[in-house]
């Protein structure tokens, strides 16, 4: 990462030598004032983005932790589901057939 060479204060305190045909000191100072404003704006943006990075890292760390919500009914279903036998499956199938085809069987 590149290091910052100048700060707002350093730019403000910078002195230039004046010569017979040098630049207009007022024009240079006005330009440096604008540069200092830009540096302040960039510094504020960097601080804001660093804060956002820290907030998102904290949010990501919290989101990666598994949340434990116990739903007893689903726990019971999974425990039963693992011990399902062919008889249980046939019984469920029989109930479904009665629901779906029961009216047709009763009419025949």
- Report whether 11 contacts 35 (CB < 8 A): yes
In the three-class reduction of DSSP (H, G, I as helix; E, B as strand; rest coil), residue 35 is classed as: helix
Query: Which residue has 């100072």 as its token pair?
Result: 29
Tell me the whole-structure pTM to 2 decimals.
Answer: 0.46
* DSSP conformation class of 24: -
Please report the pLDDT score of residue 92 as a whole number. Answer: 85
CA atoms within 13 A on the CB side of 20: 0
Q: How much of the chain exceeds pLDDT 90, in percent?
A: 13
Please report the pLDDT score of residue 65 as a whole number. Answer: 65
Low-confidence residues of the chain: pLDDT under 70:
1-2, 65-83, 103-108
């Amino acid at each position: 990462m590149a290091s910052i060479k100048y700060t707002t204060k350093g730019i403000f305190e910078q002195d230039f030598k004046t010569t017979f045909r040098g630049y207009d000191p007022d024009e240079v100072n006005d330009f440096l004032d604008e540069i200092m404003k830009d540096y302040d704006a960039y510094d504020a943006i960097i601080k804001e983005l660093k804060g956002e990075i820290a907030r998102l890292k904290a949010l990501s760390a919290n989101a990666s932790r598994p949340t434990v919500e116990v739903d007893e009914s689903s726990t019971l279903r999974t425990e039963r589901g693992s011990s399902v036998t062919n008889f249980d499956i046939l019984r469920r199938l029989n109930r479904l057939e009665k629901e779906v085809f029961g009216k047709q069987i009763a009419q025949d």
